[in-house]
Amino acid sequence: MRTTPIRLADGRELIYFDLPDDPPRQEHDARELPEPPPASELRFDELRGEWVAVAAHRQERTFQPPGDRCPLCPSTPDFHSEIPGPYRVVTFENRFPSFSERTAGSRTMPGIRPGEGRAEVVCFTPDHDRSFAGLSPSDVRLVLDVWAARTEALSAFPGVQHVFPFENRGAEIGVTLSHPHGQIYGYPFVPPHVAQILDSLEFDPGAFAYRLTREQADERVVAADEHWTAFVPRSARWPFEVHFYPHRQIPDLPALTDAERDAFAPLYLDVLHRFDALFDVAMPYIAGWFQAPVHQARDTFRLHLQLFTTRRAPGKLKYLAGSESAMGAFINDIRPEQAAQMLRDALPRTGG
């Protein structure tokens, strides 16, 4: 994999990721852009023990533009997008970031501090009408290498405590740009769900190994290969939720071997195709990599991917109403064993 970093017109970093034999790049952003916004503000909730980011500038972010004005497509003579030229995979600093390094002038006081960190966009393909499920295994391998490289880079940023690569797909999830893309957050704190896992590991350092062993022997396995097992967890919160565990105990994406990276692509694509085949519709989903925090639990946390959808039936979505949104107490409408069987029975279809 070859990387070519450039600076966009407003000073934000963009990185092209190419194969070694691809021609060299000489791209230039010809736009005139205003200065990037300052960092968000973090405010501490004393009762929950959690940080909340206030990023009011995100109200101005681009929302569902026409296909020929998509800021994630390669620039053309008629339209200058965020990406000045063709690409395979590209990452760049979000123009409307939840976290950033631009903390000059930010205030710091008890319970309030700058949202120092990083928020990057990852474009998986230049094809606007494609999806992640439509990538080839070699395409997925390149994306996986990019996730690993950016995890390593963001982990070295001042103030970053946790790195989270993720993809939101579908208007039902709230996606504002339909081009196939994801994001990587470099949080300046350990996010609540990971903090809960750390608490569990303090009590039982072998919890991840126990879960994998239990699930491998159960009816909730959806797919598996030599290096990975994909299963619906016994306590799934979402109608269709699949976790992907590597068979080795490793803390993060950079620790994956070449064999593990190669094996992940076909397994993940298979499950994504099953999601789309389940109701014969493009399935909305969230897919996120859970990694060890930068400075904690490196020997006990286990890298894994969580994939879930809000769709519970044709034409029906799972909404987070009173119990889930207010109390954080999930009520699942589908038995996890039934969900796993439905996914195993779904006839995968390629493309899209």
Kindly report, residue by residue over 151-180, the tens digit of the pLDDT.
999 999 989 999 999 999 999 998 989 999
Please state which architecture CATH assigns to domain 194-345: 2-Layer Sandwich (3.30)
Q: Does the annotation mark 181 as catalytic?
A: yes
Active-site annotation holder among 162, 179, 181, 304: 181
- What pLDDT sits at residue 313? 94
pLDDT in tens, 189-238: 999 999 999 999 999 999 999 999 999 999 999 999 999 999 999 999 99
At residue 58, what are phi and psi to the nearest 5 degrees? -70, -10
Please state which architecture CATH assigns to domain 2-190: 2-Layer Sandwich (3.30)
pLDDT tier for residue 280 given thresholds of 50, 70 and 90: very high
Contacts of residue 323, defined as CB under 8 A and 6 or more positions apart, other chains included, come to 329, 330, 331
Name the residue among 95, 35, 30 with its Cα closest to residue 62.
Answer: 95
Amino acid at 59: Q
pLDDT average, residue stretch 291-318: 96
- What pLDDT sits at residue 352? 54
Domain(s) labelled CATH 3.30.428.10 in the chain stretch across 2-190, 194-345
Contacts of the segment 103-110: beta carbons below 8 A, 24+ positions apart:
103/38, 103/39, 104/38, 105/38, 106/38, 106/39, 106/41, 107/41
pLDDT tier for residue 266 given thresholds of 50, 70 and 90: very high
pLDDT average, residue stretch 274-295: 96
Average pLDDT, whole number, for the chain?
Answer: 95
Give the range among 5-9, 82-86, 172-176, 195-199 with minimum mean pLDDT.
Answer: 172-176
